[in-house]
Every structure is written in structure tokens, then in C-alpha cells.
Amino acid sequence: MSAPVLTDTDAPAPATERPAVRLLRGLLPYVLALVLAFAVSGVVIAALGYDVVEAYRTIVTTSFRTGFGFTETLTKWVPLTLLALGFTIPLAVGRFNIGGEGQLLVGATAAAGVGIVYADLPTAVLLPLVVLAGVLSGAVWAGIAAFLMGRFRVNEILSTVLLNFVSFQVLDYAATEVWSDPAAGVAATQRVGEGAELPVLGGPPGVHAGILLALLVAAVTTVVTRRTAAGFELRAAGANPRAAAINGIRVEKVAVVALVVGGALGGLAGALEVGGVHGRAIEGMQSNFLLLGIIIGLIARGSALWVPVVAFGIAILEVGASSMQRTVGVPAEMVLIIEALILIFLLLSDVIAGRLARRVT
Amino acid sequence: MSGATAVGPAGGAAPGRDRPLTMSGISKSFGPVRALTDADLELATGEVHGLVGGNGAGKTTLMNVLYGLYRADSGEIRVDGREVHIRSPRDAIALGIGMVHQHLLQVSSYTVLENVVLGTSAGSGGLRGAARRITELSDRFGLAVDPRARTDRLSVGARQRVEILKVLYRGARVLVLDEPTTNLTPQEVDGLFASLRGIVAEGTSVVFISHKAREVLAICDRISVMRDGRRIATVLRSATDATGLASLMVGELVGEQTSEVAAALGVGAVGEVPAAPPAEQRRPDAGRVRLAVSGVTADNDHGVPALRGLGLEVRAGEVVGVAGVAGNGQVELAEVLAGVRPVRAGSVAVDGTDLAGAPTRRWLSTGVAYVPEDRHRDGILGAGTVADNLLLGAQRRADNRRAGLIDWRRVREHARDTIERYSIKTPGPDAMAGNLSGGNIQRLVLARAFDREPAVLVLQNPTRGLDLRSTRFVYDRVHEARDRGCAVVLISEDLDELSLLADRMVVLYSGEVVGERARGDYDVYELGRLMAGVREDA
């Protein structure tokens, strides 16, 4: 995947083709990549001696068959979307935020800390504080990498990855020394106060209200990148840093801000996991959200409009995978292979489309 | 071939019937673009054959086919009457065809000797024998160069001589030179021409690619004119003149336009004062000083000082040309004047405000507009739309925004209007800018610059690689800026362009202004000496 395109493919179109035709043409490689990825994985599953049809049926239908499945899917969707956006926003300026899980963990730790220390405060006060603590600490965490990048040109890929390891220790310290909960059975902090818990929508089982925040973030990101001067500068700086600088855009500053914003979203994801899912910060709560966030961001080609959609698809696969493992016995990791194959085939389709375009014209 | 003036080889040289090279029916397409359509060329022994035409006429493509860099879709090449198939430069070299490219491809840390023998089997005498042959060749043809010198220490002119020596060393009988005078001082051009005369006198044929009628007329025996991928005509040097050649090159332009284009081509600037200044005899000293540069010191990208205490003043309505051989601080000067490159010392004042150290955004808002040399790299967002690119830099201006958001409807409207006024060839505001041709990208960059109503306009090599129409368009815009009272700095390696446009000329050498001449008060040799670093008082 090359640099993200400045004008998204789904931006207002020139009137050369009918919008519907354009959309179909744009979706075609996605559909093909999806079909191919499932086909190849099917061969692998069959080779392993499992029932392919049953495995796929489980993957696809789990999310929709029961309320629990759907709730789980939506709950997974929240951190996936936020981490994907936290990856794609710096990516728009050509910077790689590989620190999503560190930002999530630090955000979760700070959110849990606030939720524990001020456990007695009412929801109206405590909940915003918890969310704010997550956002700010995520921003600060990414800010370390951003500062090193802006000031000393330290490669942000290295610094964000390395900060992930530091974040494990931060959470470990909080979970075992500061607010440890021996009764939890795993390395985890104590539970936050009731006022720190996100209200539940619908149900039972229902989805925590963090989903609204994630939706809002996705919408705001789309509007900001497309319609504001700051977003334009972000895209310009990514498309051609030299031309952008010559035209008065401070590329390095834009990159620093983008990385900090990305970190803030990671921190927000951490706070929402604490307030909406676990009620505490737990070691290992980052799951494989970072990796999936990157895959989502790349499949969506950096488009803030498509990230939530792709994230939903990935969440379905993830939820279906654990169910598949339980019922059919296929290892849940198989789904990671499917996701990776989707991305690979999508990237291949770029190459192929390029060749075709050259041959046809 | 209809309408072509087919003429025999140059009278005096009388090379008889032998044809070292004939190309016929050569066609070549790149995707949808037809670069060559049934092009042909015939060389005589011992002639300098000019190959002229505007940009995109197909000159270089035709020669790249000959040199095996491109495979033609169809057509036939004959060497000494025998049909040959050239699949790679190796084949071409084996057939005695050598080419010197516009951009010299050399291993810069090698010596001249090593670069010359690179890719050849050292032969009987080993390296020492090779060195002797190089010295012998360079003496014989006046291609002065020390075989033991490291290539990166040499001037552009000397490095070009190395390339020619390399071709001769391999025993080429056809030498192709692609725009060889770019980056040479007038003295070096004279030296090159003298060497070429010596080379053809020994029976080698030279193809001299150029878009400058003046140079072609000065050196060639016969001249083939290409246009739109075809050879339009071949004429004897003795049977044509600058205007005749220019009208062949341009074709459809007529009358007054032709003479202007001829001027643009550098016709009539043969070592003398160029075309008369514009009729209205403007007095450049009448305007107030809009740009005042003093004592500016700045580093290049590698932290090495590139500008050393440079001073320059430009008045309203004045075009100041900055001449010099590439690599003497032009890029750094342009970027300092555009507010992109930080200065170590000195001041750059625009209308009395010192902008040194201020962020680029302030330079823009104070009225500095910059047309960079490399328009693809520095000028546009290739993946952005035309509208994106026209907005770039003005995205925070109040008239482009509504309720805090960019008013895309207005931006597109404005883009449509600009596309029309600047005759940018594009499907519309939403087309990708990277797909535009070079000339249209330059129009876009100029449109953006003028949209800022600049107080100071800085241009670097603004017509490089442009066809005649776009070149003329750029010149018209420069005049327009000047007439509006803008202070224009034109940094160019093209002396003809500078002579045509500049009211005053300064020469940049090694990061300093080493000389200044008013319009009409110099000849190009004098400038050449300054460009080569010969001091005024020497």
C-alpha cells in the first residue's frame, strides 16, 4: 500500500461515470479479495480435517443469531474502530502509529486509577473524568513518541512499538502494586466505582454507551479530514510533504499533532474498555486490537468513512471465530489468517488493476 | 513524408553513397500516448545532424529507440545498409552507436579513466594503455580532461567531455548528443562545437538533439525537424535560417507569433545582445524596492554553506535574472527567497518587512509566490485533485471557508474559473493533478502563485521541459506580473531565457553574486566568464 490517497475514492465524484457504477467498480476488488480469502482458508480448514461449511456458517452467523452474539460484536467494534482510526490519522501524514495497544493500556490504567481513587463520585462527574483521563494519558503516551519524532527525528515506528512494552509494565505496576485486586484471579486492578461505569444501551445484554462515543469520533474524523483546513493540511502533508511545506504547511507540526490525536483515540479505547466492558484494567485486555486495527486501517485505505464499516466486518469474524473454535474445533487463529489474506489479496488487486489499466488503454 | 523537404547530404562534406545509419517507419506508443508515428532519419558519414523540435516532438524517444533503451513497436533500423535489431544499449554499442544523455550517468567516486573503461574489456594495454588512448583522444579532439581526476570533482562541462570520450573510446561511428548544451557556459559550448567538428572530420557522424534553433544553426550540417512524433522536414544548414526553422518546429503558429516563438527559442542571440527591450522602454529604477536581500548565508541539504553573504535588490516592476551554472546555489537561493529554507545570517525584506526566520506561511501572506524548479516534486500534490492543488496554501483564507469548514463548492467554482483563465487542459476540478502534462502542471502552479497577488515572484527554470506554447504562456505571465508592479526574480540556467526576460542580470557563482549587468549591457561570453568563476578584476 502506497501513501494514502488525498481524495478518497468515495469523495464527491466527477460526473464521468454514474455513482452506482463507480461504487460497484470500487467494491469489486473488495468482494474478490473476500471471496478468495475465504476460498484459500477453506482449503486449509478442509486440509486440517474440519467441516468447512459448518465452520464458515458459524463464523458468519454467530453475530446475528443471538442477542449475545450481536452485543459481543458491537462491543468488539468499539476498540477496533478507535485503534484503526488511531492508526489511520497519523498514516494520512505518512507516519505509523504502531503504539495503539500501549496507548490503550495506559489509557485504561489511568481511567481505572481515576475510577478507583474517586470511586464515590457520582456518574455525572466521575464518568467524564474517567474518559478524559484515558484520552489525555493516551495522548501523552503517544506524545512522547511525537516529541521525539518532531524534535530529534526519532523514527516513530520504533518509539511507538517500544512504548508498548513500557506500557505493559505500567499496567503491571498498577495492577500488582498500586490498586491490585488479589481476589480477581488474574493480574488486574480493583473494580472502579459504579459512577465510572458506562450506561448500557438496550438489552439485555445491551451495549455500553461507549459505542456512541466511537461513532461520534468516526463521524468527526471524517468531517475534519474532508472539510476543515486542518484536515486538508493533514492530507496535503501526507500527499507531498515538500509541496505542502512550500505552501506554508508545517509538515512536522501536523505530523506531531496527528500522532498525538491517534494516541488520544487509543487512550479513549482503553477508558471505554474499563468503563464499559471490564470495570477494571486487566493485563492482556489489549487482546490483538492493535494488529486488527492496523489491518482495518489498511483495508479501509485510510478512509475514516470506511474504517467503521471494515471494523464491523472484522468484529463479526472475530466473534464468529471463538464460536467456531467451540463448536467445530477449528482454531480461532484461523480467522487471523482469513483477515490477513483479505488484506493481501486486496493489495494484490492494486497491482493487478494497475497492470490491467496499462494494458487496456 | 508528404511535404517534407528531402535534401541530400551537406554539399561540401560529400560523404558519397554510404549510409552509416537509416531509421525508417519507427513507431512507438506508451500506453495511449503515441510518441513516434512512422518516424525516420538518415545520417550521412561525417556530418553533424541536428534533430530539433519542441518538447514531446519525439527527438529523444527516437534516439532512445536507436540506443536500445526503448523497443520500437514497428520500423526498421539499418547500419551501413544492413538491417539490425537493437535490443539493448549493449547491442547499440556493439554496432558503433554511442549516446550521451542529458543527465550524465557516471560513477561519481570513480576516476575519469575508470568511468571511461567501465563496461569495456580493458583491452591489450590494460589500464595504462587505456589511459594513453584517452589522453590521445582528448588531445586529438580538444576534449581536455585529466584521466586521473575523480569524476565528482569535475565541472558539468568536463563530465560531459568524459561521456563523449567514453563513446569515442568504444569506437563509436554514430555519436548521439541529447541536449548537450544544457548547463554549459557559452565558452564551453564553443569548445564542444570545436570538438564536434574534429570528430566528424574523422568520419564519425553526430546526431545533435536540441530544441534551440540557434545552436543547431551554429553547428549542424543538416537539420531534421520533428513535430508530433514525425520527422517533418530535413533541411540543409545553408538553405535555412532561424525563422524558417522556428516555423517548421512550431508549424501552426504564424506571423507575429512565430517571431516571438523564435525569440523564445533563443534565435538571434548568437553571442550578441539579444532581442531589443520591450517597446515602452521601461525604467526599472523607477519602482520602489520590494525585495531587499542582504548578507544572506544559508546551507544546502548537507549542511554545507551554499549561499555566502548574498545581496540582491529587486524593484517593483523589475525582472531580475539570476544566471549561473547549475549547482552554484540556485536551488538554495530560490528556497531562501520562498521562505522554505532557513537562513544562517542576513535578512530578506519584502516591502520593508524582514521575513528571515519567519514561518513559510508568513512569507506567503506577505506576498511571496514561488514557482519551483521541480514542479512534480515541489509544486503539486500528485494524488490530489486540481481543486485541491489550487486551494493549497489558501485553505485558511476567509473566502475559502464557511462556518469554519472549507467551502468546497466555492473552491470548485474558483478552480473551474481558473482552469478556464489559465487554459489548463483537464477534465475538471476533480481530475487528479498528477495526470496533467508538464505544461499544464506549470499553468496550475502559476495560477496558484498569481492567485496570491504576489509582491515578489520567484521562479526557477520555469520553462524547463515545456513545449513552446506553454513556454510562451509562462513568459506572458512573467510580463504580466512585472506590469502589475511585482518584483520578479527569475533564476534560470538558460541564458537566452534570461536575456529575453530580465531587465537586469546577476551572476551567481559559488553562492555569491559575482557580477551584475543591466539589460543590453553585456555579451554572453562576458557572462560565461562570470559563470565560470573568472573574477571581474581578473
A 236-255: CB under 8 A from B: 236, 239-240, 242-250
Interface check B406 vs A, CB under 8 A: yes
Interface check B367 vs A, CB under 8 A: no
Average pLDDT over residues B89-94: 91
CB B170 within 8 A of CB B97: no
Task: Tell me how far apart the alpha carbons of residues A77 and A357 are, in angstroms, rounded to a whole number.
Answer: 36
pLDDT of B278 higher than 70: no
CB B410 within 8 A of CB B429: no
pLDDT at B122: 57
Interface check A228 vs B, CB under 8 A: yes
Of A184-193, A349-358, B58-67, least confident by mean pLDDT is A349-358
pLDDT of B537 higher than 60: no
Q: Which of A145-154, B319-328, B509-518 has the highest mean pLDDT?
A: A145-154
pLDDT of B152 higher than 70: yes
Q: Which residue of B has its CA nearest to A246?
A: B340
> Most B CBs within 10 Å: which of A7, A22, A93, A247, as the mutation test of the B interface?
A247
Of B15-19, B144-148, B207-211, B336-340, least confident by mean pLDDT is B15-19
Q: What is the pLDDT of residues A207-237, one digit of tens each?
A: 999 999 999 999 999 999 999 999 999 999 9
Confidence bin at A17 (pLDDT 50/70/90): low
Strand order in the sheet with B230-236: B97-100, B174-178, B205-210, B48-52, B222-227, B230-236
Name which of B370, B388, B391 is nearest A246 (Cβ-Cβ). B370
Contact A229 B406 (CB under 8 A): yes
Strands B33-43 and B21-30: antiparallel
pLDDT at B270: 31
Average pLDDT over residues B324-353: 93
CB B152 within 8 A of CB B107: no
pLDDT at B104: 77
Strands B289-299 and B48-52: unpaired
Q: Which cell goes with B63?
A: 534516439
Using the Cα atoms of residue B151, residue B157, residue B160 and residue B165 in order, give the sign of their dihedral: negative
| Cα of A251 to nearest chain B Cα, Å | 11
CB B290 within 8 A of CB B458: no
Q: Chain A partners of B342 at a C-beta cutoff of 8 Å?
A: none
pLDDT of B235 higher than 50: yes
pLDDT at A355: 76
Contact B364 A228 (CB under 8 A): no
Whether B37-107+170-263 shares its CATH topology with B273-367+453-538 is answered yes
Of A4-13, A30-39, B284-293, least confident by mean pLDDT is A4-13
pLDDT at A11: 40
Interface check B408 vs A, CB under 8 A: yes
CB A299 within 8 A of CB A310: yes
Average pLDDT over residues A312-323: 93
Tell me which CATH code domain B273-367+453-538 carries.
Answer: 3.40.50.300
CB B51 within 8 A of CB B219: no
| Cα of B377 to nearest chain A Cα, Å | 7
pLDDT at A21: 82
Where are chain B's structural domains?
37-107+170-263, 273-367+453-538, 382-452
CA A168-A173-A176 angle, 5° bins: 115
pLDDT at B265: 53
> Which one has a higher pLDDT value, B457 or B246?
B457
Contact A246 B372 (CB under 8 A): yes
Confidence bin at A359 (pLDDT 50/70/90): low
SS3 assignment for chain A: CCCCCCCCCCCCCCCCCCHHHHHHHHHHHHHHHHHHHHHHHHHHHHHCCCCHHHHHHHHHHHHHHCHHHHHHHHHHHHHHHHHHHHHHHHHCCCCCCCCHHHHHHHHHHHHHHHHHHCCCCCHHHHHHHHHHHHHHHHHHHHHHHHHHHHHHCCCHHHHHHHHHHHHHHHHHHHHHHHCECHHHCCCEECCCCHHHCCCEECCCCCEECHHHHHHHHHHHHHHHHHHCHHHHHHHHHHHCHHHHHHCCCCHHHHHHHHHHHHHHHHHHHHHHHHHHHHCCCECCCCCCHHHHHHHHHHHCCCCCCCHHHHHHHHHHHHHHHHHHHHHCCCCCCHHHHHHHHHHHHHHHHHHHHHHHHHHHC
CB B160 within 8 A of CB B129: no
Q: Chain A partners of B385 at a C-beta cutoff of 8 Å?
A: 6-7
Contact B393 A6 (CB under 8 A): no
Superfamily of domain B37-107+170-263: P-loop containing nucleotide triphosphate hydrolases (3.40.50.300)
Interface check A13 vs B, CB under 8 A: yes
The radius of gyration of chain B from alpha carbons, rounded to an integer in Å, stands at 24
ipTM: 0.85
Of B189-193, B274-278, B299-303, B342-346, least confident by mean pLDDT is B274-278
Task: Tell me how far apart the alpha carbons of residues A212 and B488 are, in angstroms, rounded to a whole number.
Answer: 56
